[in-house]
Amino acid sequence: MQLHTKKFFLICCILFLFSFSAALAAPLRVHPTNPRYFTDDTGNAIYMTGAHAWPTLRDMHPPTENFDFPAYLDQTIQYDLNFIRVWAWDLPKYTCNNPIQGRAEPFPWERTGPGNATDGKPKFDLSKLNQAYFDRLRERVELARSRGVYLSIMLFEAFELRFCRSSTDGFPLTGSNNINGIDAGTGTGALTLSNPAVLAVQENYVRKVLDTLNDFDHIVYEIANEGGRESTDWQIHMINFIKTYEAGKPKQHLVGMTFQYPDGDNTTLFNSPADWISPGIPGGSSGDTRYRDNPPANDGSKVIITDTDHLWGVGGSPDWVWKSFLRGLNPIYMDPYHPELWAETDYSMLRAMKQTRRYAKKINLDHMTPQNSLASTGYCLAGCGEYLVFLPSGWGSVDLSGISGTLTVEWFSTSNDSVHSGGTVSGGATRSFSAPFSGAAVLYLKSTSQSCDSSPTRKVNIGSLMNLLLTKG
């Protein structure tokens, strides 16, 4: 009796630990057979979607000096989202065309003086890393892991260096703001390879981030937010620097490159060594707006995280979320979180991302690929006897000529989250469909006879361990 009780206790402990860690069994890597998505040790495709705001790491004031990161995680969980972009910030004092001049802190280097920087606070000592900064970073990464949320760790902000510089910004890598005689100038020199001393400081900071976070599984890295075209060589250098440095460490993490606003070209992202990318609109609003208006299908050459930040700044629509999802993309939302300066949070965007998460978990995403030609609307994920179609007007046709037998029909209303059974339909031909409600609809068709096996990794691992415990005396 005592032996069986001990075994039962061990099994309960294993099940508890497994349920706690299963959501973040990593490190993240690109899915080997469906490289539109990340995966981890479970082998399952991981669809990323979520929201992000400027003060996810640094205190920014005004108006968000009281940003509550645990509460932001709560909101993420409330909407069943699984991804947050953790912002870096380059300037201690910034304007960025806002009516209120703000401040950001802390920074990766200690402010020791002697003397003050141009923002009125002590100068930086670039030879002394600020441990409090890295402690905060690690604390927030730990907290996100405990809630099952993935993070992108932004290393440099970059946009500010192009559009927000001033004579009082206190930028640490401007010579007048540090005691080390290191000067990247007053423009975007810090985003190039032109100054070896500046690059050495940046690499030392990045190395410290990598050391601080190497043991975590639920993170990816992003070099910079919207650095311009001049930053290409520097960003590629940083991507390779991270990959080389982490090659000698226990864990290796994926590295991303985001759109180079406003003069970048998405081709640069696709041709880079980045593992994941975030495209934008080359040439500003007058350029190629496909990722905003009619997202192109992901061909699997990169994991693509489409970010409203690079497409609207502040904006987006629920229909865009669904269109992105059904084109094999991973949409995320730039949360204004600055009602005094920008706009209120658009909760319809959070709800739409929650809806797509619901279906990403329902379908066999490992085997689903965007197949525009199968649906009259052009928005369709299909594979292994499953079809997920977005119908912006609630009606359209689906080419089922490639499948035989019977498929069940499910309707989902994006406006009120209601699910409606549509009976069944036969394959073998193109079929027309009309939702039993008004407005945008999602159509889910599933074969009653054809399917693909999901990854058995979790089931086999936990089952084997339990069997071992039960058979050993």
Predicted local distance difference test score (pLDDT) of residue 470: 32
CATH of the domain at 389: 2.60.40
Q: Which of 336, 364, 392 is the last residue of a domain?
A: 364
Pairing of strands 386-391, 441-447: antiparallel
| Domain membership flag for residue 17 | no
265 & 226 share domain: yes
Mind listing the pLDDT tens digit for each residue in 45-73? Answer: 999 999 999 999 999 876 555 789 999 99
Are the beta carbons of 23 and 9 closer than 8 angstroms?
A: no
The mean pLDDT value for 248-269 works out to 94
Provide, for the chain, the percentages of residues in helix, strand and coil under a 3-state DSSP scheme, each rounded to the nearest 5: 35, 25, 40
334 & 405 share domain: no
The mean pLDDT value for 75-97 works out to 92
**Residue 408 and residue 385: Cα distance in Å, rounded?**
10
285 pLDDT more than 60: no
Predicted local distance difference test score (pLDDT) of residue 342: 59
Mind listing the pLDDT tens digit for each residue in 196-229? Answer: 999 999 999 999 999 999 999 999 999 999 999 9
**Residue 72 and residue 430: Cα distance in Å, rounded?**
45
Predicted local distance difference test score (pLDDT) of residue 471: 31
H or E segment at 200? helix 196-213
| Domain membership flag for residue 193 | yes
The 3-class secondary structure across 246-290, one letter per residue, is: HHCCCCCCCEEEECCCCCCCHHHHHHCCCCEEECCCCCHHHCCCH
337 pLDDT more than 70: yes
121 & 184 share domain: yes
99 pLDDT more than 80: no
**In which band, very low, low, confident or very high, does the pLDDT at 14 lie, cut at 50, 70 and 90?**
very low
What proportion of the chain, given as a percentage, has pLDDT over 70?
86
Phi, psi of 412 (to 5 degrees): -130, 130
The mean pLDDT value for 400-429 works out to 97
385 & 400 share domain: yes
Mind listing the pLDDT tens digit for each residue in 428-463? Answer: 999 999 999 999 999 999 999 987 865 433 333 333
Predicted local distance difference test score (pLDDT) of residue 21: 43
174 & 240 share domain: yes
Residue 384's region, left for phi above 0, alpha for psi from -120 to 50, else beta, is left
Number of domains in the chain: 2
Q: Residue 110 pairs with which residues in a beta bridge?
A: 125
**124 SS3 class:** strand
CA dist 217 to 40, 44, 82, Å?
Answer: 9, 15, 14
423 & 352 share domain: no
97 & 216 share domain: yes
Predicted local distance difference test score (pLDDT) of residue 98: 60
359 & 381 share domain: no
The DSSP secondary-structure symbol of 45 reads -
The mean pLDDT value for 172-195 works out to 95
CATH of the domain at 296: 3.20.20.80
416 pLDDT more than 50: yes
What spatial distance separates the first Cα and last Cα of the chain, rounded to whole Å?
12
353 & 414 share domain: no
126 & 266 share domain: yes
354 & 242 share domain: yes
Q: Which of 364, 389, 413 is the last residue of a domain?
A: 364
**Residue 323 and residue 108: Cα distance in Å, rounded?**
39
| Domain membership flag for residue 470 | no
Which two structure tokens, joined as six digits, stand for 76?
């993420």
Mind listing the pLDDT tens digit for each residue in 340-363? Answer: 655 688 999 999 999 999 999 999
Q: Which of 332, 348, 364 is the last residue of a domain?
A: 364
Among residues 6, 59, 45, 82, the alpha carbon closest in space to that of 328 is found at: 45
What proportion of the chain, given as a percentage, has pLDDT over 90?
78
Residue type, 360: A
CA dist 266 to 22, 76, 261, 279, 313, Å?
Answer: 35, 29, 10, 6, 17
| Domain membership flag for residue 90 | yes
**In which band, very low, low, confident or very high, does the pLDDT at 288 lie, cut at 50, 70 and 90?**
confident
The DSSP secondary-structure symbol of 296 reads P
Range of the domain at 168: 45-364
Contacts of 19 (CB under 8 A, 6+ apart): none
| Domain membership flag for residue 108 | yes
**In which band, very low, low, confident or very high, does the pLDDT at 157 lie, cut at 50, 70 and 90?**
very high
| Domain membership flag for residue 146 | yes
Among residues 212, 71, 63, the alpha carbon closest in space to that of 132 is found at: 212
| Domain membership flag for residue 16 | no
| Domain membership flag for residue 342 | yes
340 & 388 share domain: no
Among residues 28, 30, 35, 31, the alpha carbon closest in space to that of 370 is found at: 35
**In which band, very low, low, confident or very high, does the pLDDT at 20 lie, cut at 50, 70 and 90?**
very low
**In which band, very low, low, confident or very high, does the pLDDT at 277 lie, cut at 50, 70 and 90?**
very high
Range from 99-113, 179-193, 237-251 carrying the lowest mean pLDDT: 99-113
- Cis amide bond preceding 262, omega within 30: yes
Average pLDDT, the chain: 89
**In which band, very low, low, confident or very high, does the pLDDT at 236 lie, cut at 50, 70 and 90?**
very high
Contacts of 96 (CB under 8 A, 6+ apart): 160, 163, 164
Beta-carbon count within 10 A of 208 CB = 17
